[in-house]
Amino acid sequence: MRPLDGITVVSLEHAIAAPFCTRQLADLGARVIKVERPKVGDFARGYDERVEGISSHFSWTNRSKESLALDLKHREAPAILQKILDEADVLVQNLAPGAADRLGLSYETLSQRYPGIIVCDISGYGNDGPYRDKKAYDLLIQAESGFISITGTPDSPSKAGCSIADIAAGMYAYTSILAALLQRGKTGKGSHIDVSMLESMTEWMGYPLYYAFDGATPPPRAGASHATIFPYGPFTAGDGKTVILGLQNEREWEAFCRLVLEQPGLAADERFVTNSLRSKNRAALTQLIVETFAPLTVDQVIARLETAQIANARLNEMKDVWAHPQLQARDRWTSVDSPVGKIPALLPPGLSNAFEPRMDAIPALGQHSESILRGLGYAEEDIARLRAEGAV
């Protein structure tokens, strides 16, 4: 058994935040019915064609789901949705602000008919407040949350290279739904979850927010280096490859000077005797480190760092991650079916000895419409009529 076997999730979802949430519920065994627009579907299907013609975003966030193509404006859509919700435990939606309410899918409405239902609304700014109706995309929330202001170089702020605000909201939605299921097991009652991308990202901004507490200067943008700890960031070896290294305390600083830089006296240099001084004088210290690394390959640098027990990492590209020896050694890659055949997929983080995660196919648009409708009691002629009318 998987933890969520027997749980049915209905999701009116698009893009990343809600699909990432529900994919993880599916990983744990939940049946996820993904409601999509006929003909076009989740607009993330069209972001690119990088995975043998399938969008990279869609491939990542939609395995193990059933796709129901349904025109929510069709006259019979409410009846179809009601039949689906009769069997559902959870409804997840990240439609435009107010859209779910207009469809009669608010928690206030649904809980009257389904007192045990869990409704999770995912939005940019939450279900109320002056920003409620403001459009919100990942990049915009990165900006509103202050993330971009502390990311990048001193001359150029930068966004994260992945959809970090969407991921944050998806993770909080996922964990909040798990908590709501536990709560329902104790009380028998469902609940309403209101997840905002802004609040999710602001939670993740806790350290820089407190660092800038009460009007203090915020952490400076430091590129790939740590803003306030040094040396902690990228350094180039003589072969042109980059190693990331990080020191956390004075014991490591002494070992770094003695075993990596091979300049033990540097540990007592008055410019570098504390982290604050090393950070203040990072230009001078960087020059010393680069000069030491210049005749060495990245492998030789890493060997010295390992001897000194200094934390380090290679600056990998995507091709390196696909072939990462640690992921290979732990058998973390598998494959899933898709409309274009099998594609590789990373097993979900959190290796459990109690169950195997569900790793089923990525659905084609509307692939399960007929089977879902048959399961709801619709006859073949009714399904054919709905399809002819463009309802499904």
The helix/strand/coil state of 140 is helix
d(CA 40, CA 70): 11
Phi (first) and psi of residue 314, to 5 degrees:
-80, 150
- Active-site residue numbers? 166
Phi (first) and psi of residue 29, to 5 degrees:
110, -5
**Would you say the C-alpha torsion 334, 338, 340, 345 has a positive or negative sign?**
negative
The helix/strand/coil state of 297 is coil
| Helix, strand, coil percentages in the chain from 3-state DSSP, rounded to 5 | 40, 15, 45
Beta strand pairing call for 242-246 and 311-314? antiparallel
For 341-361, b/e burial (b = at least 16 CB within 10 A) is: eebebebbeeeeeeeebbbeb
d(CA 302, CA 307): 9
CA distances from 165 to 18, 143, 196 (A): 12, 10, 10
Beta strand pairing call for 311-314 and 118-123? unpaired
229: enclosing H helix or E strand:
none
Instruction: Select from 11, 175, 196 the least CA-distant residue to 97.
Output: 196
